[in-house]
Amino acid sequence: MNPFRRRIQTAMQQGGGAAAFSPLDISGLQLWLDASQIVGLNDGDPVATWSDASGNGYAVTQGTASARPTYKTGVVNSKPVVRFDGVDDWLDNGTFAVNQPCTWFCVAKRTGGHPSYGFVFDSVGADPTRQALIYTVGSTKWTLYAGSLVDESGTTGAVFKSIQAVFNGASSKIIVGGTETTVNPGSQNLANGVRIGQVAGAGGFVFGGDVAELGCYTGVLSAGNLALLQGYLNSKYGL
Amino acid sequence: MHSLFILAAEVRDWFNQQAEALGNNGVAIGALTLSASGNEPGTHGWCAVQLSPEKEQEVANLLAANPDKAALIDWSKYDLATQPGFPQQRLAVRGLKVIQKPFP
């Protein structure tokens, strides 16, 4: 589906008519995984493919049945999520890449998984081509990685949060539930694909929990656009 | 219902072969990521998967036909919606821990 049709569909799904904001309204959207746009699955079905609603074709997939996450309806503000079991689930796309500066957004909740770190996303390749959004279990904080590991300043706990992550070297920031923390996660770009739900490499840090939406823009979004995105996520998920 | 399998290293290859024969289309358990101490080397592996009732019956039949292998496999069922912490709880019951690794 082309981005324009997708935007109209999204607006209709949100019940807001043509005025409803869509992430497509901001230029530079590279990847948009939105559980509310998954079609053809019923509650409890395994997710083999999570299509990319950006129109760029970066669907994330899982060919191995035992490693597929689960589609769950009516989880957060009556919206569906993709649920990762915290044991061995993940999805990936082997070609996605994005350079710094870039801006990620996500709505997620960690409920289990590896006792140290849960990777919401990572690159498929190894350093120095990695960016990651991680839940750090010990400090119950959301964490960015692009060569260095840095936390948000607050404490999250096991609740749904909207997360915006601007990867921009020493001027990076992570915004969790509207609270902004300036961080420096390093300057690495993401290359060689993106993995959702697990660290790059087998048998590592597995995320257990729900992901409702995850997306990425090229560039640093303006404060106004970050606010628009935040408002969209807050409204959609009742945060 | 989700099925959680925790198994000893000795039966990993056999388990993976059976999973493949049942249509898993890939390795069910790769690295051994569990041990009693939480340190390397791994002695056990695990996987979780949603099985249809028909597949569950096939697994039950398979384990019943191979009691020597079944003795090394812990199979439990849980509700992913209401029991998200079940895998870790089951690990504790079995005296196992996920191996803690330094950040890669």
Contact A111 B25 (CB under 8 A): no
Measured distance CA(A169)–CA(A233) in Å, rounded: 25
Residue A10 has pLDDT above 60, yes or no: no
Measured distance CA(B47)–CA(B7) in Å, rounded: 9
Tell me the residue type at A198. Answer: Q
Q: What is the mean pLDDT of chain A?
A: 91
Residue A205 to chain B, least CA–CA distance (Å) = 9
Please answer whether residues A19 and A4 qualify as being in contact, where contact means their C-beta atoms are separated by less than 8 angstroms. no
Residue B93 to chain A, least CA–CA distance (Å) = 16
Residue B47 to chain A, least CA–CA distance (Å) = 6
Please answer whether residues A58 and A52 qualify as being in contact, where contact means their C-beta atoms are separated by less than 8 angstroms. yes
Q: pLDDT class for A12, splitting at 50, 70, 90?
A: very low
Per CB-CB distance under 8 Å, the chain B contacts of A43 are none
Write out residues 55-94 of A within 8 Å (CB-CB) of B: 63-68, 70, 72, 83, 85-89
Measured distance CA(B63)–CA(B76) in Å, rounded: 13
pLDDT for A195: 96
Cis bond upstream, residue A128 (ω within 30): yes
Q: What are the structural domains, with CATH classification, of chain A?
A: 22-237 (2.60.120.200)
Residue A149 to chain B, least CA–CA distance (Å) = 9
Nearest to A117 among B28, B29, B103 (CB): B103
Q: Best residue in B3, B49, B100 to probe A by mutation, most A CBs within 10 Å?
A: B49
Residue A77 has pLDDT above 60, yes or no: yes
Q: Which two tokens stand for residue A185?
A: 């996660």
Write out residues 150-189 of A within 8 Å (CB-CB) of B: none
Contact B81 A63 (CB under 8 A): no
Contact A64 B28 (CB under 8 A): yes
Mean pLDDT by 10 residues, chain B (104 residues): 96 97 93 94 95 95 97 96 91 94 74
Residue A5 has pLDDT above 70, yes or no: no
Residue A17 has pLDDT above 90, yes or no: no
Contact A111 B84 (CB under 8 A): yes
